[in-house]
Structure 1
Amino acid sequence: MSNGISHLFIPGPTNVPDVVRRAMNVPMRDHRAPDFPELTLPLFEDLKEIFANETGQVFLFASSGTGAWEAAISNTLNRGDRVLMSRFGQFSHLWVDMAERLGLDVACVDVEWGKGVPVEDYERHLAEDPSIRAVFATHNETATGVTSDIAAVRRAMDAQGSDALLFVDGVSSIASVDFQQEAWGVDLAVTGSQKGLMLPAGLSILGVSAKALEASARAGMERCYFDFADMVATNKSGYFPYTPPVPLLAGLRVALDLLFAEGLPQVFARHHRLAEGIRRGVEALGLKLCAMGPQWYSDTVSAIRVPDDIDSAEVCRIGFQRYRTSFGAGLSKVAGKVFRIGHLGDLNEVMCLSALASAEMSLADAGAKVELGAGVAAAQAYYRAALSERESAVALEEVAS
């Protein structure tokens, strides 16, 4: 018999706030009833604000984020289309695999794991190959804790006069770090319910630009369940072309309310603050991140390299079995080499301190030579200073107003 709670520090699914869990505990309702649009139409509009998508549309599919990957491709491209992608982690790799299996002609740039989207290589490929119909970029590579500059990708495309569609995987970034679909010229942006939106897995969310909607009318790839046309026809009146997961929609309503009550700029600032505390703690333990430089650091997940003589899978096992803490395991090329602390969603400073404390004990028990308490102390010092500075700034704003 165990007391207290188990601790979840994987990069998704993330912790679901109690108020959201309670909101999903609802009786089943008629999804064709006249009052159903009172729930759904505001959801569609509020999700556009989350994506910063002013002139396009946001679709909700009953699937994991992978479903929105497929919807984005199958609705806007044709088999044989030339597309530009990059591979620098497990999830960017899986997107390349999907594109190839759906019949696209993929020009793939392989990048060392720990770096992100190779913008200069993209610009060179676009200059050499004007037939490229789409450019794909993973905003936040969850396997390595790497965030890429999507605005820079759009600038590279514009510099070469490319009319290609820009696809972005924002599964572990949207609603946690700044994402500007319209301003960055992103045509198709993918996320899932189980990350920054603080829900169980089961909803994939796809932000679509006006340009991509136009492209969907001309694209000839087969699609059925994920057809944009069916969604447009039914969503406009607040309904779906199939049975939607009503409890998840009820939870989404409350999750969005929480995000807006905090304020999106404040949400992004909190994620940066929490992530920086984790990074300070990792450094104090004498460890390094998988991300190869501050320009790549992710504010939603840190992939932490273990010493060469330590198996990161053992760190995760000890954390789970001995300290009731779930860390993200290393995937594919970094299996056994890194473990991951997810720091996104419903999270605060003290929760992050507990993640570091559990990580320190798990590392030490696995044989790593770390100084117990060093990481926690470094994070504590940072959080105290950062929160004090934040309170001072808020006080000044109140005086000014």
Structure 2
Amino acid sequence: MAGRNHLFVPGPTNTPHEILSAMHVPMEDHRSPIFPKLLSPILEDLKKVFRTEAGQCFVFPATGTAGWEVAMTNCLNQGDKVLIYRFGQFGHLWAEASRKLGFDVEIHQVEWGKGMPLDHLEARLKEDKNHEIKAILATHNETSTGVTSDIPGVRKALDAASHPALLFVDGVSSIGSIDFRQDEWGVDASIAGSQKGFMLPAGLAILGFSQKALAAIDNSNFPRSFFSLKDMAASNKDGYTPYTPSTPMLYGLRKALELLLEEGMENVYARHHRLGEGVRRAVAAWGLQTCAQAGWDSDTVTAIVVPADKDARHVISTAYSKYNISLGAGLSEVAGKVFRIGHVGDMNDVSLLGAIAGVEMAMLDNGFDIKPGSGVAAAIEYYRSTAK
């Protein structure tokens, strides 16, 4: 098929040419005297993206899933109680990972399409008089349903209950794309991945830790080696890593940070909101609903619910085979019920208009009762009226 595949999944995201070019480097000695000139500025600039001055950032040659394990095994002990709300596939997977690691996982089920229930959380924390709950595991942006939770509200619930639990946040599909403020929100461990807002291939777990979380390491007896924060911090202090890093990925991260900081994080957040709103207006013009209920909309991915007599997998298959567009599939409980349009990373108005047009064609081919061009027209009017 002529032309390229158009990637509109919520991760991995499109990698800009500038980043691909930056990664195209010969191998080099990661123990050389000049290597700290690459790594040390990266760790400092990451703090600007995580919005932390008091905290410390780390990069592991791994994935966001591994980032969960880094946070938990360094700051907690096996058998510790952790609290998590399950309102999507990735919250579910985090809970399962916690169980496998030997934690006492307290799960509360939430209707998929909503996020963290703050009143329930505050009440549960106030019940925990003996402070048995050692950490809250909060999914900031649940990509399976297109839901963004209120992390500042989670911190307020902790403070209202005067509860000392650590706050761990999965920001894999939010950090670098959606407003995130580690210090201001009192987040103790923030977890990101390279393949979302950082616009890189998968392969890096990028984390931010508060001083409270770093201090908790001294009280943890959890077995760890590759994921040891103490080892990583000791090497990072001098600009090195405790084992062989992926130098091409670090060069790519260096360029990604330059692109994000040149645009300005507030502008990055505003761009993602605007792109997401255009997609949401297209969905409304089609007469369809998003999986996210009112007030929970994500600015990095929109999950679109298909009519009961349709299968979202057919839309995804048609879009790929006939129009060379990759869309996100519905996962677990929403498999076949939703398809997802990712609008994260290296995207602009025209990118999203292409996605909306391709989705319209695929839906029409599958017998959806929509007016051709309706979603495209709604998005065009919004993007035109808000363009600067």
One fold, TM greater than 0.5?
Answer: yes
Q: Distance in 2 between matches of 1:6 and 1:367?
A: 24
Aligned residue number for residue 172 of structure 1: 173
Q: Is the 8 A contact 1:84 1:122 kept in 2?
A: no
Q: Distance in 2 between matches of 1:221 and 1:85?
A: 20
Q: Residues 30-79 of structure 1, C-alpha deviation per residue, up to 9 Å, x if partnerless? A: 00000000000000000011001211211101111111110000001111
Matches of residues 276-355 of structure 1 in structure 2 within 5 Å?
276-293=277-294, 295-355=295-355
Q: Distance in 2 between matches of 1:79 and 1:23?
A: 41
Aligned-partner residue type, residue 94 of structure 1 = L
Aligned-partner residue type, residue 48 of structure 2 = E
Aligned-partner residue type, residue 81 of structure 1 = D
Aligned residue number for residue 377 of structure 1: 377
Q: Distance in 1 between matches of 2:120 and 2:74?
A: 27
Q: Distance in 2 between matches of 1:224 and 1:124?
A: 37
Q: Is the 8 A contact 1:138 1:170 kept in 2?
A: yes
Q: Distance in 2 between matches of 1:16 and 1:229?
A: 32
**1:101 Cα offset (Å):** 1.1
TM-score w.r.t. the length of structure 1 is 0.95
Q: Distance in 2 between matches of 1:238 and 1:372?
A: 56
The answer as to 2:256 corresponding to 1:263 is: no
Secondary structure of 2:183's aligned partner = coil
Secondary structure of 1:133's aligned partner = strand
Q: Distance in 1 between matches of 2:262 and 2:79?
A: 46
Matches of residues 130-279 of structure 1 in structure 2 within 5 Å?
130-279=131-280
Q: Is the 8 A contact 1:139 1:148 kept in 2?
A: yes
Q: Distance in 2 between matches of 1:53 and 1:263?
A: 15
Q: Distance in 1 between matches of 2:223 and 2:214?
A: 16
Q: Distance in 1 between matches of 2:89 and 2:144?
A: 6
Give the fraction of aligned pairs with identical amino acids, expressed as a percent: 56
Aligned residue number for residue 396 of structure 1: none
Q: Residues 152-182 of structure 1, C-alpha deviation per residue, up to 9 Å, x if partnerless? A: 0000000000111000000000000110001
Q: Is the 8 A contact 1:311 1:337 kept in 2?
A: yes
**1:222 Cα offset (Å):** 1.2
Q: Residues 336-375 of structure 1, C-alpha deviation per residue, up to 9 Å, x if partnerless? A: 0000000010000010000000001111112211111000
Q: Distance in 1 between matches of 2:137 and 2:67?
A: 14
Q: Distance in 2 between matches of 1:162 and 1:15?
A: 41
**1:20 Cα offset (Å):** 0.5
Secondary structure of 1:242's aligned partner = coil
Q: Distance in 2 between matches of 1:310 and 1:223?
A: 47
Aligned residue number for residue 14 of structure 2: 15
Q: Distance in 2 between matches of 1:364 and 1:161?
A: 54
Q: Is the 8 A contact 1:8 1:325 kept in 2?
A: yes
Secondary structure of 2:292's aligned partner = coil
Aligned residue number for residue 83 of structure 2: 84
Where in structure 2 are there 5+ consecutive unaligned residues? none
Aligned residue number for residue 121 of structure 1: 120
**1:90 Cα offset (Å):** 0.4
Q: Distance in 1 between matches of 2:104 and 2:122?
A: 18
**1:185 Cα offset (Å):** 0.4
**1:283 Cα offset (Å):** 0.3
Q: Residues 220-264 of structure 1, C-alpha deviation per residue, up to 9 Å, x if partnerless? A: 111110001100100011100110000000011111111111111
Secondary structure of 1:162's aligned partner = coil
Secondary structure of 2:224's aligned partner = coil
Q: Distance in 1 between matches of 2:256 and 2:2?
A: 28
Q: Distance in 1 between matches of 2:261 and 2:52?
A: 16
Aligned-partner residue type, residue 75 of structure 1 = N
Q: Distance in 2 between matches of 1:81 and 1:369?
A: 52
Where in structure 1 are there 5+ consecutive unaligned residues? 392-401
Aligned-partner residue type, residue 318 of structure 2 = I
Q: Residues 119-165 of structure 1, C-alpha deviation per residue, up to 9 Å, x if partnerless? A: 11111111111321111110000000000000000000000001110
Aligned-partner residue type, residue 215 of structure 2 = E
Q: Distance in 2 between matches of 1:126 and 1:260?
A: 37
Runs of 4+ in 1 over 3 A off after TM superposition: none
